[in-house]
Amino acid sequence: MTAQTRDNQTIAPTPSTAPATAPHDLASHRGAPMALVVLGSMVVGFLAVVALVAAPVVPATESALAGAVLCGFAVGWAALAAFSTWFTVQPQRWATMPAAVLGTSGITLLALGSSAHRVLDWVWPPVVLALALWMALRIRRDMSGRAARWLLYPVVGAMGLAAAGGAYQGVGAAVDSSSVAMPGRLVDVGGHRLHLSCTGTGSPTVVVEAGGGEQAANLGWITSAVQHDTTICTYDRAGRGWSEDAAAPQDAVAISTDLDTLLHRAGLPGPYVIAGHSFGGLYAMTFAARHPDEVAGMVLIDSTAPHYDGAGVVPPGSASYDVLGRVAALASSVSRLGIGRLYAIVAPSDLPPTERDQVRASTAKPGMLRTTIEEYGRANDSMQEAASLHDFGDKPLVVLSAGVGSDADWPQKQHRLAALSTDSVHRVVDGASHEALVGDPVHAPTTSAAILEVVNAVRTGKPLSK
Long-range contacts at 128-134 (CB < 8 A, ≥ 24 apart):
128/101, 128/159, 128/160, 128/162, 128/163, 128/166, 129/160, 129/163, 129/164, 129/167, 131/97, 131/98, 131/101, 131/159, 132/156, 132/157, 132/159, 132/160, 132/163, 133/160, 134/97
Cα gap 318→384, rounded to integer Å: 18
Helix (H) or strand (E) holding 397: strand 397-402
Global pTM value = 0.84
- Closest C-alpha to 255, from 170, 205, 177, 192: 192
Q: How many CB atoms lie within 10 A of CB 126?
A: 12
CA 230 to each of CA 207, 226, 233: distance values in angstroms, whole numbers, following the listed order: 11, 6, 10
Cα gap 82→245, rounded to integer Å: 42
- Closest C-alpha to 348, from 424, 280, 436: 436
Model pLDDT, residue 310: 52
- Closest C-alpha to 304, from 337, 336, 266, 278: 278
Tens-digit pLDDT profile for the chain (466 aa)?
444 444 444 444 444 444 444 434 434 456 789 999 999 999 999 999 999 999 999 988 889 999 999 999 999 999 999 999 999 999 999 999 999 999 999 999 999 988 888 888 889 899 999 999 999 999 999 998 899 999 999 999 999 999 999 999 989 988 988 889 999 999 999 989 999 999 999 999 999 999 999 999 999 999 999 999 999 999 999 999 999 999 888 999 999 999 999 999 999 999 999 999 999 999 999 999 999 999 999 999 999 999 887 555 555 544 456 788 888 888 888 888 888 888 888 776 889 999 999 999 988 888 888 898 899 989 999 999 999 999 999 999 999 999 998 888 898 999 999 999 999 999 999 999 999 999 999 999 999 999 999 999 999 999 998 7
Q: What are phi and psi of 426, to 5 degrees?
A: -115, 120
Q: Where are the domains of the chain?
A: 32-179, 186-313+323-460
Q: Which residues of 233-256 are buried (b: 16+ CB within 10 A; e: fewer)?
A: bbbbbbbbbbbbbbeebbbbbbbb
Q: How many CB atoms lie within 10 A of CB 303?
A: 28
Q: 186-313+323-460 adopts what CATH topology?
A: Rossmann fold (3.40.50)
Cα gap 374→377, rounded to integer Å: 5
- Closest C-alpha to 246, from 55, 78, 254: 254
CA atoms within 13 A on the CB side of 268: 29
DSSP 8-state class, residue 378: T
> Which residues sit opposite 196 in a β-bridge?
185, 235
- Closest C-alpha to 275, from 213, 197, 210, 212: 210
Model pLDDT, residue 121: 85
Written as one letter, the residue type at 109 is L
CA 63 to each of CA 6, 117, 120: distance values in angstroms, whole numbers, following the listed order: 83, 8, 11
DSSP 8-state class, residue 293: G
What lies within 8 Å, CB to CB, of 95 at 6+ separation is: 41, 77, 78, 80, 81, 84
Model pLDDT, residue 311: 52
Cα gap 49→70, rounded to integer Å: 8
CA atoms within 13 A on the CB side of 254: 19
Q: What are phi and psi of 88, to 5 degrees?
A: -135, 170
> Which residues sit opposite 277 in a β-bridge?
301
DSSP string of 326-354?
Answer: HHHHHHHHHHTTTHHHHHHHHS---S-HH
